[in-house]
Amino acid sequence: MFNRFRREGKGEVEMAAVEENSAGPPNEEAVVEASPSPGGRIGIGDLMDKRARLEEAIDYVGVMIKNLKDKRTLLEKDIEDESVDIKNLKEKLQKVNEYIEDESAGITKLALKRREVEEEADEVGAIINNLRNKLAGIDQVIEEEGDRVRKIKGTKEASVGAASEFTD
């Protein structure tokens, strides 16, 4: 609020100028009240003084309007900057979300692949056990056949030894 009080020798002049209202444009009216001078006449000096005060009030209103325009321009720029920053953040978050989704899909694929490899490893283990059992069976047969051959050899040697006793 701009208030100015001026006392003059013949009377008191009050000028209340512009009130800045945040809800709307500034009030550009200047209120001038003059008490009549004791002689009842207003001279040219008083009129010039009033005109000068009105011009000051108008200049003040002009400065306030300029300041409001500057503030609004800065506010618009700040809002635009924030808008750009928020859009950039949103894009980054979307990329992070895509990365997370890709990684989740990759992990799922890896888990499936690991499960397949684990099943193949179980199959290989079963084949190895089966082959080990077959080899054990073959070893058993070889052992039994070896025993038979040794028995036959032992019997043949005993027969040959007995026959040589007869020939001697």
Question: Residue 47 has what pLDDT?
Answer: 87
Q: What is the pLDDT of residue 45?
A: 87
pLDDT at 100 over 80: yes
Contact 22, 13 (CB under 8 A): no
Is residue 25 pLDDT above 50, yes or no?
no
> In this predicted model, which residue has the larger pLDDT, 47 or 35?
47
Separation between Cα atoms, residue 155 and residue 157, nearest integer Å: 5
| Tens-place pLDDT, residues 52-94 | 999 999 999 999 999 999 999 999 999 999 999 999 999 999 9
